[in-house]
Structure 1
Amino acid sequence: MTWGLTGVSVTRGGRLVLDGATLDVAPGGIVAVVGGDGSGKSSLLAVLAGLLAPTAGQVGTATRSRLGFLPASSGVYPDLTAAENLRFAATVHRMGSAAADERIRALLAITGLTAAAGRLGARLSGGMRQKLGVAMALVHQPDLLILDEPTTGVDPVSRADLWWLIAREAARCAAVVLSTTYLDEAERAGEVVVLDHGRTVLQGAPAGIVAAVPGQIRAADSRPSGPYAWRRGRSWRVWHPAGGDGEVIRPDLQDAVVVAALREAEEAGDE
């Protein structure tokens, strides 16, 4: 059983926010949707979760009882304790009392939130709220887990903990679709979908996307002239579509995304 989108477009307020998006995710798979603000990430996840109707295209998703969803806001209720938030999520999914008790105890332990079980959501740290939000989304062990930027704004340790939770669910054979602004995280996924203004500019396995970068990327100590340069750390990188002279850099996913954006801008300028 696979879930996903086929040629899905969404128009909101007369503006095309998603343009022909397609993705598939199978049990045990992780798909990362990458893009900046306004790229269409949240709209894509909302369509897959059944929260937003597409203007065109087809959607294949799990039934509501077998779907787990984490909104960008974490979904944690500030006036409920951590344990009460999990209890509420379990009740929504009609879990029996005994099963819910066991699952809540396990999730509090797995997320390191046992000591904070009685703390109000409003008094949890950002990382703790995100871990609690993910735990709420997976309390009923869903077949399809959809997470909207689960690690944005949290510390590196909490990010690692959250990815451990995500990998654990995939190992349980849940299908996972998540959005992220962190390209180093996206490299952990089996498939990456890169969006720009609603359009898919790159899609595939991270290694395949990197291997398909055209031309060459070369290093520069100072800012070079021309439209194909960008800064990485303390140095600069330059994309040479037809190759050239100088030190060649082996690209990573971030380089591939930058090159794709440069090519999109070039093609848009030619229209």
Structure 2
Amino acid sequence: MIAAAENVTVRFGERVALDRVTIDVPAGAVVAVVGGDGAGKTTLLRALAREVIPESGTVTSPEKHEMGFLPAGPGSWSALTVRQNLDFVGGAYGLGGDELRSRREAMIERCGLTVAADRLASALSGGMRRKLAAAMAMIHRPHLLILDEPSTGVDPVSRIDLWRMISEAAAAGAGVIMSTTYLDEAERAAHLVVLDAGRILVQGSYDDVHSGFEGTITRGAQPVRREWSWRRGRERHEYWPGESVQTDAPRVDPDLEDIVIAMSLAQRLRVAP
């Protein structure tokens, strides 16, 4: 196991950011953490990166130089070029000479930045700058790769490039844990962790999460109980947690978005799904 959190609780003042969270990050696998704003995703990643000290519980992770961390912000220095950013980070991890040049050029090619290699980071598009930040986190080939919403706000083509880079890192043996707002990305991960208000609602493979979901989801223009519904396109989906369905509306085979929203509603409305 590359990294793990066991019964980890983190507080910021009176607010509980993580509540007895337990997860494993195995080598060669991608773990995706999903949840709404304030769910605890960033806190969990920062705890694994040893940037946040838990109030209780145990965190196991590699030494700092064996980790790569991509924060939610830009993740690069705007006054440096693409090559200079990679050289600076690579040098900080002890790389130099031909090895650094070789890795730098390989990363530039892998993330599609060859034409922009000598451009300042401040002059890059949002997607290009995010790919640069990911390359900076990966250049030293870390054992643990921690990515905080790497593709948020990134164009579809750059999202594909980013996911390929992440998959290649895992295939090379790294343990990868990433938060994401894109549930189609989360479905590709080997392991899902669904957080809400600092608690794990469910975790496992996508197939496990889908097959273990209890209750019924219906769709229609007018829900019976609006507080249990959410908009999907031109319709509203409504969750019926473990009770008789009080509508003739068509049933839905839930996708991950439906499951995450339904379980979050059940948690907040204090009804066990």
TM-score (norm 2): 0.94
- 1:112 corresponds to: 112
Cα-to-partner distance string for 1:78-119 (whole Å, 9 max, x where unaligned): 000000000001001001321100000111111111111111
Structure 2, gaps ≥5 residues long: none
* CA-CA distance at 1:268 after TM superposition: 7.1
Cα-to-partner distance string for 1:140-196 (whole Å, 9 max, x where unaligned): 111110001100111111111111110111111111000111111111111111111
* CA-CA distance at 1:48 after TM superposition: 0.2
Q: Is residue 260 of structure 2 the alignment partner of residue 261 of structure 1?
A: no
- 2:29 corresponds to: 29
- Which 10-residue stretch deviates more, 226-235 or 124-133? 226-235
Distance 2:117 2:131 in 1: 12
The one-letter amino acid paired with 1:267 is R
The one-letter amino acid paired with 2:222 is R
Q: Counterparts of 1:185-264 in structure 2 under 5 Å?
A: 185-220=185-220, 222-226=221-225, 227-241=227-241, 242-244=243-245, 245-264=248-267
Distance 1:22 1:93 in 2: 30
* CA-CA distance at 1:264 after TM superposition: 0.8
* CA-CA distance at 1:219 after TM superposition: 2.1
Distance 2:15 2:237 in 1: 34
**Identity of matched residues, %:** 45
For the Cα contact (< 8 Å) 1:215–1:243, is it kept in 2? no
The one-letter amino acid paired with 1:230 is W
Structure 1, gaps ≥5 residues long: none
Q: Which runs of 4+ in 1 moved over 6 A?
A: none
For the Cα contact (< 8 Å) 1:35–1:195, is it kept in 2? yes
Distance 2:75 2:128 in 1: 12
For the Cα contact (< 8 Å) 2:2–2:144, is it kept in 1? no
- 2:13 corresponds to: 13
Q: Is residue 59 of structure 2 the alignment partner of residue 56 of structure 1?
A: no
The one-letter amino acid paired with 2:99 is A
- 2:157 corresponds to: 157
* CA-CA distance at 1:243 after TM superposition: 4.6
- 2:144 corresponds to: 144
Per the alignment, in what secondary structure is the counterpart of residue 74 of structure 2? coil
Per the alignment, in what secondary structure is the counterpart of residue 267 of structure 1? coil
For the Cα contact (< 8 Å) 1:6–1:57, is it kept in 2? yes
For the Cα contact (< 8 Å) 1:74–1:150, is it kept in 2? no
Distance 1:240 1:54 in 2: 36
The one-letter amino acid paired with 2:68 is G
Distance 2:215 2:271 in 1: 20
TM-score (norm 1): 0.95
